Structure 1
Amino acid sequence: MINFINNLFKVHLKKYEAELALHYELPEQLQVDTLANLLVTMEGTAFGQDHHLAGVRHGAGFAERVPVRNYDELQPYLRRMLRGEDNVLSPDRVRWLAQTAGTTSGQSKYVPVTRDNIQECHVKGSWMTLAMLHMQREDLKIFARKNLLIGGGVYDPHPDNGFPVADISAILVHSIPLVVRPFYIPDVKTATLPNYERKVRIIAEMAAREDSITMLGGVPTWNLALYRHILEITGASNLLEVWPNLQAYIHGGVSFGPYRETFRRLIPKPDFLYQEVYNASEGYFALQDGEERDDMLLLLTNGIYYEFIPFEQFRSGDRTAIPLSEVEEDVPYALVITTNAGLYRYLVGDLITFTTRSPYRIKIVGRTQEFINAFGEDLLSENVENALVKACRETGAVVKDYTIAPYYLSERERGRHQWFIEFLELPVEQSVFTRSLDLALQRENSNYAQKRSNDFAISELEVIALPPGFFQQWLRRKGKVGGQSKVPKLANHRHFADEILAEINTMIGES
């Protein structure tokens, strides 16, 4: 009976497999159709009327009438929506507010999530991800056993309007179709608890007693905390001793590179599948479409129309965006989206590059506000992540989280980069790790290598190891606890670095 149910779901996934096939055959046409459908739906909204969108069906006319906006610039419309006014940005009623706290800077942002957006973007993206997994491995038993998901939190309703507020992953958990909920643990209430430490403890006790888990899902950082609890409870040396039927892990939210070796030790199974997804509060954007790939297929039929601003141009203040058909490979772009939730030509804040144009595959290379260019090095997150992975591989270190800031030139010493790192596993010798990291970064970024040549402009980077749990406590003190709260990886200033140093000095003084 169980295998029969699993086979039924495989049949259901076939329609998503067919839709994915179109991404390889007619990608530009998919985007033309998506924009036309969005404009038909949105032209009668307050936003559509203000921008004279009636009859507009093509990208050029749309771009002429609607400027590219960030969250703050969309606020006049968002405030009306938050007051409960209907048909402002979308004709569909708002069901949730997705809390997108991002990094420690600034206040939490609330992105409207409508029923159409939930079903035709986020839930659909999840089905497409499962379809992609089945295309890679037909023997998957996702709907024959149990699947363990650790999602975000559901928080207090918004004080102005009573709309429910949650992390997007918690909204997805709430939106899991009733017919498939029996195949997922924990229950919805537990999976969406806002207190992460308590949630991890409860789920660990529950999951340690369940031996039929086949698929895992969630952000690597919180999942690692959960798995370590489970190993402590069971006394097992790896997760296969607890769950021998494990087959796949769906992950996103942070770069997986620094955690890959740790997961391989936790799940020592050569044919175990790792499936990366790019799912943000604003939309389900991309998924990994091959077991050996390190990029992701851009999803073009999820109610999202994409545009792209070359990053160099964006930094100069020019927001002229280009459509998908005009992008080039290996050029960093600021991502601009128009969605079925009512975000129009909206700056997500992410930087991506295209790795291929047939089909359109992308990598996330950073954030528009996260880079370091204090000495002309023009460092992006992708450079940092790649260097960190290499240094960890060479020294046996495992990094939990980090942030980087410039240390400026003075009369007495050259400038350098300061890396504040919280390790899961310390390197045997920190000096060896530091040297390895610096050399790897020079290989990743030629501008950095030039500035480092003979210590010409900047000295070797400095690594400051932080005590376990430091970043979690730091975020909590800033009121930033939850699945959407992240440590800023790169800052072209010292605000965060000086905060951290002050906190370290306080801890030393109290000890």
Structure 2
Amino acid sequence: MPLFNSILTWVMRKRIHQMELFMKYPHEVQKEIWTRLLHAAKDTEFGKKYDFKSIKTYEQYKEIVPVQAYESLYPYIERRMKGEQKLLWSSDIKWFAKSSGTTNARSKFIPVSPEALEDCHFKGGKDLISIYVNNNPDTQMFTGKGLAIGGSHQVNEFDPKMDSHYGDVSAVIMQNLPIWAQFIRTPSLDVALMDKWEEKIQKMAESTANENVTNISGVPTWTIPLIQRIKEMKGTDNILDVWPNLEVFFHGAVAFGPYRSLFNQLIPSDQMNYVETYTASEGFFGIQDQSDSDELLLMLDYGIFYEFIPYDEIQKEHPKTIGLSEVKIGEIYAMVITTNAGLWRYSIGDTIKFTSTDPYRIKIAGRTKHFINAFGEELVVENAETAITHACEMTGAVIENFTAAPIHFTDKTSGGHEWVIEFQKCPDSLERFAIILDEKLREVNSDYDAKRHKDIALKMPTLHSAKPGTFYEWMKRRGKLGGQNKVPRLANDRQYIDDILELVNSQ
């Protein structure tokens, strides 16, 4: 295994030179990708509708092809799921990534073409490892196995030929991994792709507890219960007693800041590494490429062409977009993508902000529909996660999950924000936690600060401490355990929080 580790480490580091190319020539790389995408799809139904053959410039592309929401592309996707091809993309599509629908109640089915699998998702996974081994040349991760925590998939029952499938994007990727990648991962696919989450956790614990796990890939919220279950089985408080060679956790889907102190407890080692990724059903977008920074390198050669909607345009019916060359550091944008799976000018619902333009690095700000702006405070997920992480650090608290929503005006009271927080370790004072949370929100968001002035528009946040397991039970009741499912951090209405508070009050 040491020889295998040395060889694979050397192979992975070779990709770094290709990354340096798109970092040095970002606009040229993006223009080439855009040209190839339009050429590949010119004879599809969508390409003929918008006459891709006549489009020569980005400005023409913006004028002719509208920004698309899922709903506008769904008629094409539905027809493909029923057996038709060459609608949005030129190659045959046999896989769909089923989104949990975090911005609406309905599931979304995102087409995953062979090109998207190979040139985006797989390439992103290889680049993630390449960056890690380049930053950690003495890594021993290939002397053991990688534990991947994902979802499940099933046959597409809408297709008369039954030759296509859909499922969590993690399951789609795992099912299609090359043989060499299957060799270095655990557990076996029959366990990794189980659909009953609680049974799956038990089976994963049983099948991996005796493996030499050196690295973990998954969503923090669903990695926690697996580690806790294995610790219970093995009768230890330290997961390193089970996996002494564990060295890195590759994570994504939710911000890691609020979970860092919990993982420091679960994996008590100052040698443990954490690497963030920005992945979604629609593609692989960013990788944390610097060990000393939580910024994400925007990956520009994955067959994805990027555009951005300025923050004040996001809620408009026909928003204006700008190209990569026009973005400004510190501004919040909604991301729009054109992909090698036939998503054309598709607004994915995420907001990001640029921290660098040479090379292009970003931070995830939140979701276009996950915010609180009931009083003009424009509170985004990034603000909330920054503030709650700071409050935890200042009060010694450790959290499992949280959500927040507005408290609306009455004829006698100001409005405000209501938070439900599940602590694994409670703060020294819940009142002090609320004060620090509020102060940090005022520091990072000037609109929130203005509305909090003298409690005129916003009063102090109202906090509820939920018992351990509350959010897990809530997600279970909604059929949202595991996979890519996430607790909504913020909502501009009370749909989620009232449901959770009903559960909290019944405890």
TM-score range, shorter chain: over 0.9
Question: CA contact under 8 A between 2:102 and 2:488: conserved in structure 1?
Answer: yes
In the alignment, structure 1 residue 225 sits paired with structure 2 residue 225: yes
1:141 pairs with 2:123: no
Residue in structure 2 matched with residue 353 of structure 1 by the alignment: 353
- CA deviation profile, 1:107-143 (whole Å, cap 9, x unmatched): 1100011111111110010001000001101112232
Give me the whole-angstrom Cα distance separating, in 1, the residues matched to 2:335 and 2:228. Answer: 36
Q: CA RMSD in A?
A: 1.7
Map of 1:256 onto structure 2: 256
Letter in 2 for 1:213: V
- Structure 2 vs 1, CA of residues 205 and 499 (structure 1 numbering), >3 Å: closer, same or farther? same
C-alpha deviation, 1:318, in angstroms: 4.0
1:493 Cα deviation (Å)? 1.5
Listed as ranges, the matches of 1:254-403 within 5 Å are: 254-403=254-403
Q: Secondary structure at the match of 1:54?
A: helix
Q: Distance in 2 between matches of 1:482 and 1:223?
A: 9
Residues 9-158 of structure 1 aligned to structure 2 (within 5 Å): 9-54=8-53, 56-103=55-102, 105-155=104-154, 157-158=156-157
In the alignment, structure 1 segments of 5+ residues that lack a partner are none
* Residue identity opposite 1:181 in structure 2: Q
1:424-503 to 2 correspondence within 5 Å? 424-503=424-503
Does the 8 Å CA contact 1:153/1:482 hold for their aligned counterparts?
A: no
Q: Give TM-score, length-normalised by structure 1.
A: 0.95
Aligned to 1:203: 204
Whether the 8 Å contact between 1:306 and 1:323 is mirrored in structure 2 is yes
Shifted more, 142-151 versus 329-338: the winner is 142-151
Q: Is the 8 A contact 1:305 1:339 kept in 2?
A: yes
2:4 paired with 1:5: yes
Distance in 1 between the 2:157 and 2:328 partners? Answer: 41
Q: 1:317 to 1:448 in 2, by over 3 A?
A: same
TM-score, reference length from structure 2: 0.95
Report if aligned partners of 1:416, 1:460 keep a CA contact under 8 Å in 2.
yes
Alignment-derived partner of residue 416 in structure 1: 416
Identity value in percent: 39
Instruction: Give the Cα separation in 2 of the matches to 1:293 and 1:25.
Output: 20
Question: 1:35, 1:58 within 8 Å by CA — same for their partners in 2?
Answer: no
SS in 1 for 2:15: helix
CA 1:18–1:191 in 2, change beyond 3 Å: closer, same or farther?
same
Within 5 Å, give how 1:163-174 maps onto structure 2. 163-174=164-175
Q: Distance in 1 between matches of 2:119 and 2:281?
A: 14
* Structure 1 residues 165-185: Cα deviation after superposition (integer angstroms, max 9, x where no partner): 211111121122102322111
Q: CA deviation at 1:455?
A: 2.0
Amino acid in structure 1 at the alignment position of 2:167: A
SS at 1:334's partner residue?
strand
Code of the aligned partner of 2:152: G
**How far, CA to CA, are the matches of 1:424 and 1:226 in structure 2?**
16
Q: Is the 8 A contact 1:338 1:346 kept in 2?
A: yes
Q: Report the residue type matching 1:9 in the other structure.
A: L
Q: Which residue of 1 aligns with 2:246?
A: 246
Pair 1:428–1:96, CA change in 2 (3 A): same
For structure 2, list consecutive stretches of 5 or more residues without a partner in the other structure.
none
Q: Taking structure 1 as reference, are residues 503 and 245 closer, same or farther at Cα in structure 2, changes over 3 Å only?
A: closer
Task: Give yes or no for contact 1:420–1:463 (8 Å, CA) kept in 2.
Answer: yes
Give the deviation of 1:426 after TM superposition: 2.3
Structure 1's 104 and 299: CA in aligned 2 closer, same or farther, altered over 3 A? closer
> Does structure 2 conserve the Cα–Cα contact (< 8 Å) formed by 1:150 and 1:191?
yes
Alpha-carbon contact 2:422-2:471 (below 8 Å) kept = yes
2:409 aligns to what SS in structure 1?
coil
Inter-CA distance 266–469: structure 2 relative to 1 (3 Å threshold): closer
AA of the residue aligned to 1:200: I
Partners of 1:372 and 1:56 in 2: how far apart? 39
Contact 1:104–1:485, Cα closer than 8 Å, also in 2: no
Query: Offset at 1:156?
Result: 5.4
Once residues 279 and 411 of structure 1 are traced to their aligned partners in structure 2, the CA distance between those partners, rounded to angstroms, is 45
| Structure-2 residue corresponding to 1:185 | 186
3-state SS, counterpart of residue 334 of structure 2 = strand
Distance in 2, Cα, partners of 1:482 & 1:431? 33
CA distance in 2, matches of 1:424, 1:388: 14
- CA change 1:355–1:201 in 2 (3 A) is same
Kept in 1: contact 2:219–2:484 (CA 8 A): no
CA contact (8 A) 2:169 2:280 kept: yes
CA distance in 2, matches of 1:348, 1:504: 32
Question: 1:53 offset after TM fit, Å?
Answer: 0.3
Kindly state the Cα deviation for residue 445 of structure 1 after the two structures are TM-superposed. 1.3
> C-alpha separation between the residues in 1 aligned to 2:411 and 2:51?
58
> Hey, what's the Cα distance between the residues in 2 that align with 1:349 and 1:323?
17
Which SS does the other structure have where 1:322 is aligned?
A: coil
| Partners of 1:102 and 1:486 within 8 A in 2 | no
For residue 504 of structure 1, report the CA deviation from its aligned partner.
4.2
1:457, distance to aligned residue in structure 2 (A): 2.2
Q: Could you tell me which amino acid in structure 2 is paired with residue 139 of structure 1?
A: D
Q: Does the CA-based 8 Å contact 1:405-1:490 persist in structure 2?
A: yes
Q: Secondary structure at the match of 1:414?
A: coil
